[in-house]
């Protein structure tokens, strides 16, 4: 009798393993939703839709993008965590994962380390400090000199998240008397930059690309760890002696808590394949983004590094 029980147990184990393998091979078996915490038309949204288009071809299933903006990405991440669906992915930038947990006045409805499973990064956003045409400043050293010679004369703005904290940290360390003008939306900030109400702006290259092309502003310094291919003559913060303000701005895919590792690896492999298509890099560069595809382990390391940088900057600002 015991022998029969043992045989039945072994058979059940084989069936479970076979079923697991079949599910992994068949995923996705219905439409996949990608939630992105940015409005339509933004760099994050455009990248998400490009990958959705190509992944749909590889998977033979529909892949739709759902925009859930608000609270610097927190609303979108919360919606994703609440979905609890293995056919829903998150495509996010870093702020709601590496900044909001340390700056939110209210407790977040998610724990990034417990509720989000990094799958892979796909793009790197070029961040930097820029100056409008209302000033002759063309380098970071000139910004420093101009502000010291005319304290409290200059104003600056920033998009929420990394650019804002980095500029605030730099101004604090350099002891610069420059006034921040807060903005909730990009459009009024760009209007103020080009009209001269603010002289300096911290944001992504993608956000200011049209302004740069119109020669209404210029990038002074890049915050990323390496120079941007579309801005080869603009130095990095590290090159200028400020490595503590060097930060790479990623966007990538996340799975929900409990996602099976075989599905995670499948998605990682497929986004890598899409990222290696020449057309992908070309289309992203047109929008001011740089392709940077990594797997789960490297992406996890990028997230930890960014979070550590953010914590260090926040501490320097609060001193």
* Residue 5 confidence class, pLDDT cut points 50, 70, 90: very low
pLDDT of residue 202: 97
pTM of the model: 0.88
Task: Please identify which residue in the block is written with the tokens 């760009």.
Answer: 190
Longest dimension (CA), the chain: 93
pLDDT at residue 24 greater than cutoff 70: no
pLDDT of residue 14 exceeding 50, the answer is no
Predicted local confidence at residue 160, as pLDDT: 84
| pLDDT tens-digit map of 204-257 | 999 999 999 999 999 999 999 999 999 999 999 999 999 999 999 999 999 999
Q: What is the pLDDT of residue 70?
A: 92
Residue 295, both tokens? 């797997």
From 302, 284, 316, 281, select the one nearest 93 (Cα to Cα): 302
**Domains located in the chain, CATH noted:** 29-124+249-318 (3.40.190.150), 127-223 (3.40.190.10)
pLDDT in tens, 59-107: 999 999 999 999 999 999 999 999 999 999 999 999 999 999 999 988 9
**Portion of the chain with pLDDT greater than 70, in percent:** 92
Q: What is the pLDDT of residue 105?
A: 86
* Band of residue 287 on the pLDDT scale cut at 50, 70, 90: confident
The 10s digit of each residue's pLDDT in 35-63 is 999 999 888 999 999 999 999 999 999 99
Does pLDDT of 285 surpass 80? Answer: yes
CA dihedral 95, 130, 165, 125 (to 10 degrees): 20
Q: How far apart are CA 185 and CA 251, in angstroms?
A: 20
Across the beta sheet with 155-158, the strand order is 179-180, 155-158, 200-204, 127-132, 217-222
User: Residue 44 to residues 47, 158, 173, 191, 318: CA-CA distances in angstroms?
Assistant: 5, 18, 31, 22, 30
Examine the pLDDT at 115 and tell me if it is beyond 60: yes
**Whole-number pLDDT of residue 319:** 78
- Per-residue confidence (pLDDT) for residue 246, from 0 to 100: 95
Whose CA is closest to 188, among 177, 180, 179, 197?
197
Task: Please compute the mean of the pLDDT values over residues 170-174 and round it to a whole number.
Answer: 95
């Amino acid at each position: 009798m015991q022998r029969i029980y043992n045989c039945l147990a072994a058979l059940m184990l084989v069936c479970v393993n076979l079923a697991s393998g079949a599910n992994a091979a068949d995923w996705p078996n219905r439409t996949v939703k990608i939630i992105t915490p940015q409005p339509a038309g933004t760099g994050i949204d455009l990248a998400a839709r490009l990958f959705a288009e190509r992944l749909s071809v590889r998977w033979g299933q529909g892949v739709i993008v759902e925009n859930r903006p608000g609270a610097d990405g927190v609303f979108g991440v919360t919606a994703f965590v609440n979905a609890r669906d293995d056919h829903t992915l998150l495509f996010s930038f870093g702020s709601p994962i590496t900044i909001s947990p340390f700056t939110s006045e209210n407790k977040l409805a998610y724990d990034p380390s417990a509720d989000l499973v990094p799958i892979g990064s796909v793009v790197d956003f070029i961040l930097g400090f820029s100056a409008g045409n209302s000033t002759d400043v063309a380098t970071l050293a000139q910004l420093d000199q101009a502000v010291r010679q005319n304290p409290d004369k200059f104003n600056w703005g920033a998009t929420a998240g990394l650019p804002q904290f980095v500029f605030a940290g730099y101004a604090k360390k350099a002891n610069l008397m420059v006034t921040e003008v807060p903005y909730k939306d990009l459009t009024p900030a760009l209007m103020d930059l080009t009209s001269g109400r603010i002289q300096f702006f911290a944001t992504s290259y993608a956000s200011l690309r049209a302004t740069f092309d119109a020669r209404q502003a210029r990038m002074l310094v890049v915050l990323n760890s390496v120079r941007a291919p579309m801005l080869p003559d603009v130095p990095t913060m590290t090159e200028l002696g400020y490595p503590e303000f060097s930060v790479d701005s990623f966007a990538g895919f996340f799975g929900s808590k409990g996602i099976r590792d075989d599905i995670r690896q499948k998605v990682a492999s497929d986004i890598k394949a899409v990222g290696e298509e020449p057309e992908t890099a070309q289309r992203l560069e047109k929008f001011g983004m740089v392709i940077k595809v990594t797997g789960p382990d490297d992406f996890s390391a990028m997230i930890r590094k960014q979070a550590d940088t953010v914590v260090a900057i926040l501490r320097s600002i609060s001193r």
